[in-house]
Structure 1
Amino acid sequence: MTDDELRTDGSGATARATGIRRTLDRLTVEDLALYVVLVLAAGFYLVPIESGLVTSFKTGTAIIETAPFAPPGASGFTFEKWRTAIDALLRGMGNSLLYAVPATIISALIGSVTAYGLTIPNWKASYKALVLALIIAGIFIPYQAVLVPLTQFWSQWVQLGDALSFVWALGIDDDYVGIVELVITHVAYGIPICTLLFRTYYKTMSDEMMESARLDGASLRRVYRRIVLPLSGPMFAVVLIYQFTQIWNDLLFTLVIVSTESSPAAPVVLILAGLGTSMEGQDFALRMAGAFFAALPTLAVYILFGDEFAEGVAA
């Protein structure tokens, strides 16, 4: 390194050190207190995650002999729980994707179109308010309140298995009718919240832009397809993340519609509920490994749509 490079590097390091000192000088007691609180809060939320993760790599002996958040050590470290969890849950992951992905996309699209119809077009305000009130009321219906009607609907009123007999004739197990029923159920239950989220976003759009398009002869469909839909990317990210997470983690509808983890169509949450449970007790390491493995798709969705999600939430 030449003398000029040394001087340049030295001056750069000096400048960085000076900048750090100036930043520290500007810190007040309130700022330091805020940072301390934030660090403690981060630790409060991350310690359970860290404890679960290190537990998933422990042997049974290590779980007994070490604290939950302590590393297992060389003698207590194992990948066996992860291998067992992946083997047990892989089929369920595929089944969950079969209904979570289409249900998320369909409910988001229907919610977007419904919100556009309740926001942009000019139609009688009293009718619009009534429809909106009914949609909002749908958000507050608890899952438990619809379990009996839902069971009767699919088992007595709608014989979906008979209607899809041509599919079972192709060699597909007829237990997969539960996957179709879960798609329809989650779409129906997701439309109200998707509509409300999209309507909140559409109310921030420029009315002048919409009116200009209408004056140029664009129909309502064309305005939605050419203007509203392309601008809806950030809110689609919010809705997709929210809906996918809700649908992926739902156990109640899965228990009612699929009911047994031994079914070929059993989703991952149904298999996970019984993973690591036996007459001998709970295998906590296996359950932790299964929980982290089952959470990977939701984590991937957050990473994939993270930037758009932040923009949609801030809108």
Structure 2
Amino acid sequence: MIDRLPGEASQPLARAAIYACLVGTAMYFLAPLLVMALTSVKSMDEIRDGNLLSLPLEPTLAAWAKAWAKMRGFFWNSLLLVVPAVAISTAIGSFNGYVLTKWRFRGSETLFGMLLVGCFIPFQAILLPMARALGQFGLAGTTAGLVAVHVIYGLAFTTLFFRNFYMGLPDELIKAARIDGAGFFTIFWRIVLPLSPPIVVVCVIWQFTQIWNDFLFGVAYSSGESQPITVALNNLVNTSTGVKEYNVDMAAALLAALPTLIVYVLAGKYFVKGLTAGAVKG
């Protein structure tokens, strides 16, 4: 019989302890989500008489239907906001990263440093200047104005991500394309962009999450029917008129969180691959 090496006997116990810790942590963070899901399919009478973790006796989707009826317009507002904002900021960020790494010019490092400062400016610091600028351009209280705000604020992050990713691309690839007669835009469209899907996914997930979940810019720069879903959810939950409908509030909160959850489920593994491929290098 072969004797076990020192410490080998303790490996299964250590692995079991790690799994137990991970399962316990997951349950801790998933408990609020479970409470929200259970509450959203209960009637108000059952919510008053039961407890938070009790299973619904008569599950119903009435609260979901009511929540969707109240939040539908604001849901589409957020969608109309997040799609162009993410697309524009990602496109400009990729172009900036390409120029700042493969076509450097005098002052490029200074320009990048100025862009990088944008990553550290608090949202609250630009509320008044941005509101004044939107008013001067006639974009105050509009979805287009909110798109412009998120594009401007997101450029610092997308430029940083793409620049660090493109730092890992060999310069010889660009030089060879130049020798073959490829120009500035041809190299970008035919060579650099086809190599960029990992970092594009990183930027899309990052920007989508930030913009969809944003409340401060939404409440400051939108009004009335143009408000995003986060502002509408806050107004619904904090209303002081009528009976407090907890099931409707929970259903509305889940509706607001569903798009970001879907994005992470579908593209989460590509997000990790993009980060390890160079999004935080350089």
What TM-score comes out, normalization by structure 2 length? Answer: 0.88
Q: Which residue of 1 aligns with 2:138?
A: 159
Q: 1:122 to 1:188 in 2, by over 3 A?
A: closer
Q: Which residue of 2 aligns with 1:115?
A: 97
Deviation track 1:195-222 (CA, whole Å, cap 9, x = no partner) reads 1111111112222222221222222221
CA drift at 1:61: 2.6
Confirm whether residue 42 of structure 1 aligns to residue 26 of structure 2: yes
Comparing 113-122 and 103-112, the one that deviates more: 113-122
Look up the equivalent residue of 1:314 and give its one-letter code: T
Look up the equivalent residue of 1:153 and give its one-letter code: A
Comparing 100-109 and 48-57, the one that deviates more: 48-57
Gaps of at least 5 residues in structure 2 are: 1-8, 278-282
Deviation track 1:244-282 (CA, whole Å, cap 9, x = no partner) reads 1111111111111213xxx23232222111114333564
CA distance in 2, matches of 1:65, 1:206: 66
CA drift at 1:27: 5.0
Q: Which residue of 1 aligns with 2:63?
A: 81
SS at 2:142 equivalent:
helix
CA distance in 2, matches of 1:31, 1:304: 29
Look up the equivalent residue of 1:64 and give its one-letter code: R
Q: 1:50 to 1:219 in 2, by over 3 A?
A: same
Q: 1:53 aligns with which of 1, 17, 37?
A: 37
Confirm whether residue 275 of structure 1 aligns to residue 254 of structure 2: no
Comparing 100-109 and 301-310, the one that deviates more: 301-310
Look up the equivalent residue of 1:272 and give its one-letter code: L
Q: 2:117 aligns with which of 137, 140, 148?
A: 137
Q: Which residue of 1 aligns with 2:48?
A: 64
- Once the two structures are superposed, the pairs formed by residues 186-197 of structure 1 within 5 Å of their partners are 186-197=150-161
CA drift at 1:29: 1.7
CA drift at 1:123: 2.7
Q: Which residue of 2 aligns with 1:9?
A: none
Residue-pair matches, total: 268
Q: 2:81 aligns with which of 99, 107, 110?
A: 99
Q: Is the 8 A contact 2:219 2:227 kept in 1?
A: no
Q: Is the 8 A contact 1:118 1:199 kept in 2?
A: yes
What TM-score comes out, normalization by structure 1 length? Answer: 0.79
Confirm whether residue 217 of structure 1 aligns to residue 181 of structure 2: yes
Q: Which residue of 2 aligns with 1:285?
A: 247
Confirm whether residue 29 of structure 1 aligns to residue 13 of structure 2: yes
Confirm whether residue 248 of structure 1 aligns to residue 212 of structure 2: yes
Deviation track 1:80-99 (CA, whole Å, cap 9, x = no partner) reads 11111010111111111112
Q: Which residue of 2 aligns with 1:208?
A: 172
Confirm whether residue 312 of structure 1 aligns to residue 256 of structure 2: no
CA distance in 2, matches of 1:203, 1:50: 43
Q: Is the 8 A contact 1:275 1:286 kept in 2?
A: no
CA distance in 1, matches of 2:176, 2:255: 50
Q: Is the 8 A contact 1:56 1:289 kept in 2?
A: yes
CA distance in 2, matches of 1:280, 1:60: 14
Q: Which residue of 1 aligns with 2:3?
A: none
Moved over 4 A (4+): none
CA distance in 1, matches of 2:90, 2:166: 14
Gaps of at least 5 residues in structure 1 are: 1-24, 162-176
Q: Is the 8 A contact 2:119 2:156 kept in 1?
A: yes
CA drift at 1:139: 0.9
CA distance in 2, matches of 1:255, 1:100: 15
CA distance in 2, matches of 1:202, 1:26: 45
